Amino acid sequence: MSCSTTDCLLELYDEQHELEDYQSGVPRWCTGCGDNAILAAVQRLCRDEGLRPEKTVFVSGIGCSSRFPHYMKTYGFHGIHGRALPIAEGIKMVRPDLAVFVNTGDGDCCSIGAAHWIHAVRYNMNLTVFLHDNQIYGLTKKQASPTSPIGTKSNTTPRGSYLDALNPLSVTLGVANASFVAQAVDWIPESLFEIVKAAYHHRGLSFVRILQRCPEWLSKSFDPWMQDTDRIQLLHHENALRLSAGLSKTYRNQREHDPLDMNRAREIASSEDVIPVGILYQNREIPRYEETRQTGVLRTIETVRQGFEAELDKYTV
């Protein structure tokens, strides 16, 4: 008896949306940019899940990827550099009924926003976070980012970058309360969509790192993996994603991986030769911060006023 007649009546005239209902403007991204694939997958998710535009928010920081909210005909917040996550947390805290998505880039999340990133993972609020990782600062025309591979020549590292790249997957898996960590690549749209969908359905902070091509500033970076399909390792499990026939035909390198196995997830996250694609870790039992903080008290004007007065009374002389 999951749905009573009345519940069904209430949903009878729910609006059906088309992909176009979520499209807004023509993306200013370069032709060939992987952000386009992410946008298409997310718009498809919104349509398939029947997300109501007025109940959906996309929050971003600064960078190419952070133009994302402009192209979604939903609510959006184009924030400041590195601060997408705290803004999204604030929104979720006061409006838990909204679907909140975060689009952030490798510079935005892993450099200036790194502190917020760590704590957002620990808070495990019900947010869907997409890390658009093109391994370069694109909007400001090619500077090395924390995820640029060692030796990347850029305007800030003309002799090649000196440090090993930061691995966003390993970092996230190392934070307490991590509940959903996945990796996708923009050039396999089917698995990108499936992972985006699983992330949306996960209750808690779902962190999806999407490896994304930058045709303008780092055009050859992913060629070795794109040209050799065996260097893409598809993760599958009965409790995570299952592979379609078409996908398993093209990508032969497959690995069964239980998403509850943290140790194995960390091992997979540090693969260098192959790019693992799929859900590395998922634990549905970890509590959501906004739920643990819920008091169940209805916020009427009176309760808010009483609360204020009680606080102020403490300082009455």
Closest CA to 46 of 25, 21, 67, 66: 21
Q: Which residues contact 256 (CB under 8 A, 6 or more apart)?
A: 235, 236, 237
* Shortest distance (Å) from residue 80 CB to other proteins: 28
Q: In the complex with other proteins, which residue's Cβ is closer, 176 or 245?
A: 245
Q: Which amino acid is at 244?
A: S
In 10 A of CB 26, how many CB atoms?
Answer: 7
Nearer of residues 243 and 274 to other proteins, judged by Cβ: 243
- Residue range at the interface with other proteins (CB under 8 A); choices 75-83, 121-129, 238-246, 277-285: 238-246
* Residue range at the interface with other proteins (CB under 8 A); choices 36-44, 99-107, 272-280, 281-289: 36-44
Q: Compute the least distance from the CB of residue 7 to other proteins, in Å.
A: 8
Question: With 0-12 CB in 10 A as exposed, 13-18 as middle and 19+ as buried, what is 306?
Answer: exposed
Q: φ and ψ at 105, to 5 degrees?
A: -105, 180
Nearer to other proteins (CB atom), residue 34 or residue 79: 34
Residue numbers 141-200 binding other proteins by CB under 8 A: 186-190
In the complex, what is the shortest distance from the CB of residue 32 to other proteins, in angstroms, rounded to a whole number? 5
Length of the chain: 317
Buried b or exposed e, range 67-93, using 16+ CB within 10 angstroms: bbbebbbbbbbbbeebbbbbbbbebbe
Of 38-77, binders to other proteins (CB under 8 A) are 39-40, 43-44
Closest among 53, 93, 29 to 292, alpha carbons compared: 93
- CB closer to other proteins, 18 vs 285: 18
Q: Which two tokens stand for residue 3?
A: 């749905």
Say if CB 254 and CB 260 are below 8 A apart.
no
Q: Which of positions 246-265 make contact with other proteins (CB under 8 A)?
A: 246, 249-250
Q: Which lies closer to other proteins via its Cβ, residue 121 or residue 210? A: 210
Closer to other proteins by CB, 33 or 109: give it.
33
d(CA 137, CA 161): 13
- Binding residue for other proteins (CB under 8 A) from 75, 215, 258, 264? 215
- Interface residue with other proteins among 16, 176, 220, 245 (CB under 8 A) is 245
Contact region with other proteins (CB under 8 A), list: 11-19, 135-143, 258-266, 306-314: 11-19
- Interface with other proteins: number of residues (CB under 8 A): 40
- Residues from 268 through 307 that contact other proteins (CB under 8 A): 296, 298, 300
Query: Does the footprint of other proteins cover residue 12 (CB under 8 A)?
Result: yes
Q: Which of 28, 82, 43 is nearest to 59 (CA)?
A: 82
Closest CA to 310 of 302, 23, 15, 184: 302
Task: Identify the three-state secondary structure at position 54.
Answer: helix
Q: Is 138 in the site for other proteins (CB under 8 A)?
A: no
Amino acid at 157: T
**Nearest to 86, CA basis, from 60, 53, 107:** 60
Q: Residues interacting with other proteins, by CB under 8 A?
A: 1, 3-7, 9-10, 12-13, 18-19, 31-34, 36-37, 39-40, 43-44, 186-190, 213, 215, 226, 242-246, 249-250, 296, 298, 300
